Amino acid sequence: MINRVVLIGRLTRDVELRYTGSGTAVGQFTLAVNRSFTNRNGEREADFITCVIWRKSAENFANFTHKGSLVGIEGRIQTRNYDNAEGQRVYVTEVVVDNFSLLESRNQGEQRANQGGYQANNNSFGGNNSQPQAPTQPRSQAPQGPSNPAPTQNNSQPASNPNDPFAANGDSIDISDDDLPF
Amino acid sequence: MINRVVLIGRLTRDVELRYTGSGTAVGQFTLAVNRSFTNRNGEREADFITCVIWRKSAENFANFTHKGSLVGIEGRIQTRNYDNAEGQRVYVTEVVVDNFSLLESRNQGEQRANQGGYQANNNSFGGNNSQPQAPTQPRSQAPQGPSNPAPTQNNSQPASNPNDPFAANGDSIDISDDDLPF
Amino acid sequence: MINRVVLIGRLTRDVELRYTGSGTAVGQFTLAVNRSFTNRNGEREADFITCVIWRKSAENFANFTHKGSLVGIEGRIQTRNYDNAEGQRVYVTEVVVDNFSLLESRNQGEQRANQGGYQANNNSFGGNNSQPQAPTQPRSQAPQGPSNPAPTQNNSQPASNPNDPFAANGDSIDISDDDLPF
Amino acid sequence: MINRVVLIGRLTRDVELRYTGSGTAVGQFTLAVNRSFTNRNGEREADFITCVIWRKSAENFANFTHKGSLVGIEGRIQTRNYDNAEGQRVYVTEVVVDNFSLLESRNQGEQRANQGGYQANNNSFGGNNSQPQAPTQPRSQAPQGPSNPAPTQNNSQPASNPNDPFAANGDSIDISDDDLPF
DNA sequence: TTTT
DNA sequence: TTTT
């Protein structure tokens, strides 16, 4: 059966990159996708779409994007659920990314940063799961391969849920391999 | 910005068709989309994707599908939120459908029903927002136009949420026109 | 960069399955995709879209479809060109398929055949490049693996072009590996 | 039936904007879409995909893009044919665009022009058939409405075909309304 | 040079 | 709980 999504949008934050217990990289981010129409007040709203990306792709994507980056992504819609700490079932709908395209050159990102904003450090390349083009100066150095599952510490999220692989607790990380896309 | 989804799957139930206060038809349904791969136990899982369809399209879609119907749909991912009765913010991710294609002929649906199943009464046509092909014998007669906003009663859902336009309460209906796709 | 196509349509003929010099399977077929609108004469026209599929996927697809089969496919648009026998450059636009979904069960295909038609022998399964579901009774037995590159003879096409990998000449087959999708 | 295409790429030339006999605007352009993989020589190739856009969208798109512009488009694959001057049937496969998104701000386009290249004058907005955002300074002034069907003269193409609506002959224009998307 |  |  067919399940295909294509989005163009901007990252609402830097990618959150983590590692499963067995060392598989997994990135999580939200894409703000502006609607092509305005509401009754003449405002252009956006959809905020949660995305997940796995393995080498996750590391590439995290290294060459940051908050505000304009990207194109391809993937599939995934639904899953888990029981939270209060014993309630939580339903999640997200996009599992299997191809992406960075739509701003390094220069453009930096220029935006200088004009407006925040620190920019991206690079323009079309990437997919296996063959990114030669990047220059990644944002941060990720662990080399799955053999060194050093979880990214992330304390910027408020509370945390030990059952949600993406509820950052800034503590021990526990992403089950059951969440792997295959 | 681009936001495009294409799905092929089966309805988990009959479409829930309602009307906004101003008489606009709105249908809600869940599509079960089988994954193209199996999990570590060799089982083929499915994603259960909530979809929304509006206006004449909603009525056409509701009239010519039923639980189990195989359909192709096109749309966009929408995110929205509302505060529930307990004062908690609830986040919703769903697909707003703007084109669909019925993938089973009437005969096939009936045949499935006779062999297995449930009452079948669909028809094969490719539809989109404006030009369905001549159907024969709709499943039920929808109100003619937006002038008669008779809500479909539906008590089959467990609890209900007065603030979620799609939390069926089988009582008074209150879908705001703010949920209209434009 | 993003290049994504999703189609639902019917095969205008059986898949033409061949093998490159190095034994890679390649299938070619045309999908008739009915438009969702009618022309000024009230007729529903179709687009006839040339598709290519490679390797094990090609063999699976060929074995479980036939003329008239309803399928969903995913892929990318590819353009290429070659010089024909008359020394003219020929431009080709086609869809390279990387995932497909069969939308008719075996029963349905046979039923169509009995009612109308032609010999039916398909099977319902969702397939993609690597993991087709257990099929029953393929249409024909393909060579086992790339080690035995027995080309499918096909004399049903009129003329032939030694430079077009898909201009069937019913003679020696000469598909260059340059046409491989990677 | 479903027929959906999403592309991100760059215009190989400025859009060719013309008008049918009845004054409907129609734009034609080719999108260069880089592949996400390299060939056996390590080179990244591109697909060159012919696109068509109609009506107000065509005028908006033509006014705010130019050779080299990075754009995202959505549409459907269309096939058609015509008989050329030599009496041969010519088959055309192209994408009919129904939504687009400009992926470079005006600044970026101008910066590219200053650094490398060509005159830049675009603007960043997401457009679709009906609601472009306020643009500033279009590239050229298109005729106001369908009442003044002044064809764009374009002699940059080599030969020409009086039967192909898109074979620019720089002479009299003759695009049939039969080519309208509905 | 086409499918249902 | 958000991007430009």
User: Which 27-86 positions of A have CB less than 7 A from strand F?
Assistant: 30, 32, 34, 45-46, 48, 50, 67-68
Task: Report CB contact under 8 Å: D133, A6.
Answer: no
Specify which residues B25 forms β-bridges with.
B19
Which residues in chain A have their CB less than 8 angstroms from residue D101's CB?
Answer: 8, 36
Check whether D47 has a pLDDT greater than 80.
Answer: yes
Give tens-digit pLDDT for B40-63.
999 999 999 999 999 999 999 999
Q: What is the DSSP letter of D177?
A: G
Tokens 């990244």 correspond to: D44
How far are the Cα atoms of A60, A132, B16, C98, D36 from residue D44, in angstroms, in the given order? 19, 11, 49, 19, 8
8 Å CB contact between C15 and C31: no
User: Which chains have 3+ CB pairs within 8 A of D?
Assistant: A, B, C
- Of all nucleotides, the one whose C1′ comes closest to residue A69's CA is F3
Check whether D148 has a pLDDT greater than 80.
Answer: no
Residues D128-151 have a mean pLDDT of: 41
CA-nearest residue to D44 within chain C is C182
Angle between helical axes of C106-116 and B106-115 (0-180°, round to 10): 130
- Could you write out the DSSP letters of every residue in C55-68? HHHHHHHHHT--TT
- In one-letter notation, the amino acid at residue C155 is N
Among the residue ranges A113-117, B155-159, C46-50, the one predicted with the least confidence is: B155-159
How far are the Cα atoms of A18, A128, D38 from residue A75, in angstroms, in the given order? 20, 11, 21
Q: Which residue has the higher pLDDT, C43 or B132?
A: C43
Q: What is the DSSP letter of C46?
A: E
Which residues in chain B have their CB less than 8 angstroms from residue D1's CB?
Answer: 72, 101, 126
- What six digits make up the tokens of B71? 């359909």
- Of all nucleotides, the one whose C1′ comes closest to residue D81's CA is E1
Q: How do B70-83 and C16-19 pair as beta strands?
A: unpaired
Give tens-digit pLDDT for B131-152.
333 334 455 544 444 333 333 3
Q: How confident is the model at residue D129 (pLDDT cuts 50, 70, 90)?
A: very low
- Structural domains in chain B? 5-114 (2.40.50.140)
Residues C29-45 have a mean pLDDT of: 96
* Phi, psi at D58, each rounded to 5°: -60, -45
Instruction: Encode B73-95: b = buried (16+ Cβ within 10 Å), e = exposed.
Output: bbbbbbbbebeeeeeeeeebbbb
Q: How confident is the model at residue C96 (pLDDT cuts 50, 70, 90)?
A: very high
Q: Which residue has the higher pLDDT, D146 or C52?
A: C52
Among the residue ranges B22-31, C108-117, D35-44, the one predicted with the least confidence is: C108-117
- Could you write out the DSSP letters of every residue in A37-92? EE-TTS-EEEEEEEEEEEHHHHHHHHHT--TT-EEEEEEEEEEEEEE-TTS-EEEE
Check whether B158 has a pLDDT greater than 90.
Answer: no
Give tens-digit pLDDT for D106-124.
667 667 666 653 332 223 3
Give tens-digit pLDDT for A5-55.
999 999 999 999 999 999 999 999 999 999 999 999 999 999 999 999 999
CA-nearest residue to B98 within chain D is D2
CB atoms within 10 A of CB B150: 11
Cα angle for residues D161, D162, D168 (degrees, 5° grid) = 65
A150-156 CB contacts, 8 Å cutoff, 24+ apart: A150/A19, A151/A18, A151/A19, A152/A16, A152/A17, A152/A18, A152/A19, A154/A16, A154/A18
Helices (H) and strands (E) in chain D — how many of each? Answer: 2, 7
pLDDT for residue B26: 98
Entry pTM: 0.77
How far are the Cα atoms of B173, C120, C123 from residue C17, in angstroms, in the given order? 56, 18, 18
The list of chain A residues with pLDDT below 50 reads 117-137, 141-165, 167-174
What is chain B's Cα-based Rg?
17
Give tens-digit pLDDT for B81-121.
999 999 989 999 999 999 999 998 666 766 766 665 333 22
Residue C154 CA and nucleotide E3 C1' are separated, in Å, by: 21
Task: Report CB contact under 8 Å: B101, D74.
Answer: no
Mean pLDDT of chain C: 75
Distance CA D153, CA D171 (A): 7
Check whether D59 has a pLDDT greater than 80.
Answer: yes
Number of Cβ pairs closer than 8 Å across B and D?
21
Check whether B163 has a pLDDT greater than 80.
Answer: no
pLDDT for residue A108: 74
Nucleic strand F under 7 Å from the C-beta of A116? yes
Distance CA D97, CA D105 (A): 21
- Could you write out the DSSP letters of every residue in A105-174? -HHHHHHHHHHT-S-------EEESS-----SS-SSPPPSSTTS--PPP---SSS--TT-TTS--SSS--
pLDDT for residue B24: 97
pLDDT for residue B145: 40
Cβ-Cβ contacts under 8 Å for B105 (sequence gap 6 or more)? B123, B124
User: Which 34-53 positions of C have CB less than 7 A from strand E?
Assistant: 34, 45-46, 48, 50
Q: How many residues does chain D have?
A: 182
